[in-house]
C-alpha cells in the first residue's frame, strides 16, 4: 500500500481514514497497471492494491457488464428469496467451468463481500457440518502462526497477525490454537532438509490434534501460500499432502484460505493444485483475484461431502448476509472471470511469474539486506534481514519494509509492505502482485525501480547502522 502522506489535498474532516493524522494519496483515475494521483504523479501498481487487481484497472468490458446488470433494475435482490442470472452463471463457471472446482469434488459456491466474511462463513459451515451430525463436542479450530484470515471477529480470532489483534484480545475465544507455520526460511533448523522440515511440521500437527482431543476439533485452516503476514511463503514439498492425511485420520475438516493466493494468482486456477494429488480442501475461501477489485466479492467453494451433510439434515446453511450474491458484484465478477479464461490469463500469469522470479533473483539474491525471495506465479515476496548468515531481522522500530516501500513509491512504483513478518513482532518484507496481464517490459521496469530504491536504502542504512549497533 502507498505510504500515507499529505501530498494531494488537505485532509478531509469527514472521512475516517486508516490514520487520523495523514490522508492517503488520492487516485483520480486508473487504467491497466497505472494509477494517476491528484498530484499528477503516475504510479505503477505492482501489488494490485492488496493482490486484488488481477486484470488491471479500468477494463471497459467489466464496466459494460455492470451497466447491463444495473439497467435490468435488479441492482439488489435479497438472496433469501431471489437469485439472478449473474450469480447463477458465476457459480456455474467456478464449479463446472473448464477450470472449475468440480474437478476436485467442489460442488457449491457461496458469494459474500470480503475475504474476512468468507473466513467467518467457512468456520460456521464447518461447525454446522459436525453439529448436524450430532458431534457437538467439536468446537475447536487449529491454524498456523503468522497466518492471516481477515479482520472480522471470527477471522481475526483464527488469524495470527498479532499486531492487529492486540487491542481486541477481549474478543479472543479459547477454542483456537496455532502450530508452526510452513515457513522454511525462518522456521527450519540449521542442517534440516526440506523433507525433515515437512516431517517435523506434520508430527507437530498430529501431536497437537491428539493433545486437544481429535474428536473436539472442527477444522484446520491454512493459507495455501502464506500471504500478507509473512510474504508469499510456500509450503515445503509434501506438507499439504500430509496435512490432508492427518485431517482425514481424525475426521477433521481442511479449510484452505486462497483469498490472496488463489483464483489464478499463483499460476493455476487454485493454488492447492500445485501441492500434489489428493490435496483438496473441504472448504475453500477465495476473494481478491475473484472479482479483481471491480466490486467487493468473495466466496466459498464447498466440497460435496460437506454439502451432502446439509442435504441429509436441515437442508440449509444457517448463515446469511444482506448483500450476499449481490447482482452487480456477481455481474462484474462473472465478466472478470470470463476475460481471464478467454484470454488465457492464468497461463500468462504463470509465464510472467517465471520472468518475475528470474528478475528478482538476478537482481536481489546477492545484495546484503535481502534474505529470501519466495513466491509462485505473480505472487512474490522479498524478506529483509540485517544478517544473512543468521537470518536476523531488523529491529521493529526501524520499519524497514515500510521505509523501503515508501522509497519505491517515490520513484513511481507501488509495492505492498509487511512488518512483524517472522513472529508477530520482528521482520520486514514487501510483496509484489501485479495483474496477470502485466507486460514483460513493465515487469522489468518494476524490478529496476525496486533496485534503485534498494540501493538508496542500503546506502542510508550503511550510514546509520554503526550508530544503531552502538546504541
In the prediction, which pLDDT does 13 show?
A: 76
DSSP 26: P
For residue 163, the model assigns a pLDDT of 83
- CA dist list (Å): 186 to 23, 144, 263, 427: 35, 14, 27, 10
In this prediction, residue 5 carries a pLDDT of 47
Which pLDDT does position 161 carry in this prediction? Answer: 83
pTM of the model: 0.95
pLDDT at position 465 is: 59
Query: Could you please report the per-residue DSSP string of 242-258?
Result: HHHHHHHHHT-EEEEEE
| Structural domains of the chain, with CATH | 39-56+344-470 (3.90.1150.10), 72-342 (3.40.640.10)
> Given this model, what pLDDT does residue 265 score?
98
3-class DSSP state for residue 97?
A: coil
Collapse the DSSP code of 50 into the 3-class scheme (helix H, G, I; strand E, B; otherwise coil) and give the result: helix
Give yes or no for a contact between 275 and 241, defined as CB atoms under 8 angstroms apart.
yes
295 neighbors 332 (Cβ within 8 angstroms)? yes
Local mean pLDDT, 10-residue blocks, the chain (471 residues):
46 80 93 97 97 98 98 95 97 97 98 98 98 98 96 94 87 94 97 98 98 98 96 98 98 98 98 97 98 98 98 97 97 98 98 98 98 98 97 96 97 97 96 98 98 97 63 41
C-alpha cell at 167: 487491542
Strand order in the sheet with 42-45: 27-31, 34-37, 42-45, 413-414
What integer pLDDT is reported at residue 162 of this predicted model? 84
How many CB atoms are located within 10 Å of the residue 277 CB? 7
The total of other beta-carbon atoms located within 10 Å of residue 307's CB is: 17
Element spanning 199, H or E: helix 194-212
- The answer to whether 149 touches 221, Cβ cutoff 8 Å, is yes
Cα–Cα nearest to 336, from 380, 302, 296: 296
pLDDT of residue 471: 41
Amino acid at each position: 500500500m502507498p505510504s500515507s502522506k499529505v501530498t494531494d489535498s488537505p485532509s478531509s474532516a469527514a472521512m475516517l481514514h486508516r490514520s487520523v493524522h495523514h490522508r492517503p494519496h488520492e487516485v483520480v483515475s486508473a487504467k491497466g497497471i497505472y494509477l494517476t494521483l491528484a498530484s499528477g504523479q503516475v504510479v505503477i501498481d505492482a501489488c494490485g492494491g492488496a493482490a486484488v487487481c488481477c486484470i488491471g484497472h479500468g477494463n471497459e468490458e467489466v464496466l459494460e457488464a455492470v451497466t447491463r446488470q444495473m439497467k435490468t433494475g435488479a441492482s439488489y435482490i435479497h438472496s433469501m428469496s431471489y437469485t439472478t442470472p449473474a450469480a447463477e452463471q458465476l457459480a456455474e463457471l467456478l464449479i463446472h467451468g473448464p477450470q472449475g472446482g468440480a474437478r476436485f469434488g467442489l460442488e457449491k459456491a457461496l458469494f459474500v463481500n470480503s475475504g474476512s466474511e468468507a473466513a467467518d462463513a467457512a468456520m460456521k459451515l464447518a461447525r454446522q457440518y459436525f453439529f448436524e451430525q450430532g458431534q457437538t463436542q467439536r468446537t475447536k479450530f487449529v491454524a498456523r502462526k503468522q497466518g492471516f484470515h481477515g479482520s472480522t471477529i471470527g477471522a481475526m480470532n483464527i488469524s495470527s497477525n498479532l499486531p492487529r489483534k492486540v487491542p481486541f484480545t477481549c474478543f479472543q475465544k479459547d477454542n483456537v490454537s496455532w502450530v508452526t507455520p510452513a515457513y522454511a526460511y525462518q522456521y527450519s533448523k540449521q542442517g534440516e532438509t526440506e523433507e525433515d522440515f515437512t516431517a517435523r511440521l506434520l508430527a507437530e500437527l498430529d501431536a497437537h490434534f491428539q493433545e486437544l482431543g481429535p474428536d473436539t476439533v472442527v477444522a484446520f485452516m491454512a493459507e495455501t501460500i502464506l500471504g500478507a503476514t509473512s510474504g508469499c511463503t510456500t509450503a515445503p514439498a509434501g506438507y499439504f499432502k500430509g496435512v490432508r492425511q492427518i485431517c482425514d485420520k481424525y475426521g477433521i475438516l481442511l479449510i484452505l484460505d486462497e483469498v490472496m493466493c488463489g483464483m489464478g494468482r499463483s499460476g493455476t486456477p487454485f493454488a492447492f493444485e500445485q501441492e500434489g494429488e489428493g490435496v483438496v480442501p473441504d472448504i475453500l475461501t477465495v476473494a481478491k483475484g475473484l472479482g479483481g477489485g471491480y466490486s467487493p466479492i468473495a466466496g466459498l467453494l464447498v466440497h460435496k461431502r460437506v454439502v451432502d451433510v446439509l442435504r441429509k439434515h436441515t437442508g440449509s446453511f444457517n448463515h446469511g448476509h444482506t448483500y450476499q450474491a449481490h447482482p452487480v458484484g456477481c455481474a462484474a465478477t462473472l465478466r472478470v472471470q470470463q476475460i481471464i479464461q478467454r484470454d488465457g490469463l492464468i497461463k500468462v500469469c504463470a509465464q510472467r511469474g517465471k520472468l518475475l522470479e528470474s528478475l528478482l533473483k538476478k537482481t536481489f539474491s546477492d545484495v546484503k539486506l535481502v534474505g529470501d525471495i519466495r513466491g509462485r506465479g505473480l505472487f512474490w515476496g522479498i524478506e529483509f534481514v540485517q544478517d544473512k548468515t543468521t537470518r536476523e531481522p531488523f529491529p521493529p522500530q526501524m520499519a524497514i519494509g515500510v521505509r523501503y516501500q515508501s522509497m519505491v513509491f517515490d520513484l513511481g512504483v507501488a509495492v505492498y509492505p509487511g512488518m512483524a513478518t517472522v513472529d508477530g513482532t520482528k521482520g520486514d518484507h514487501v510483496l509484489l502482485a501485479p495483474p496477470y496481464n502485466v507486460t514483460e517490459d513493465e515487469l522489468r521496469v518494476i524490478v529496476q525501480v525496486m533496485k534503485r530504491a534498494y540501493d538508496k536504502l542500503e546506502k542510508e542504512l550503511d550510514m546509520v547502522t554503526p550508530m544503531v549497533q552502538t546504541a
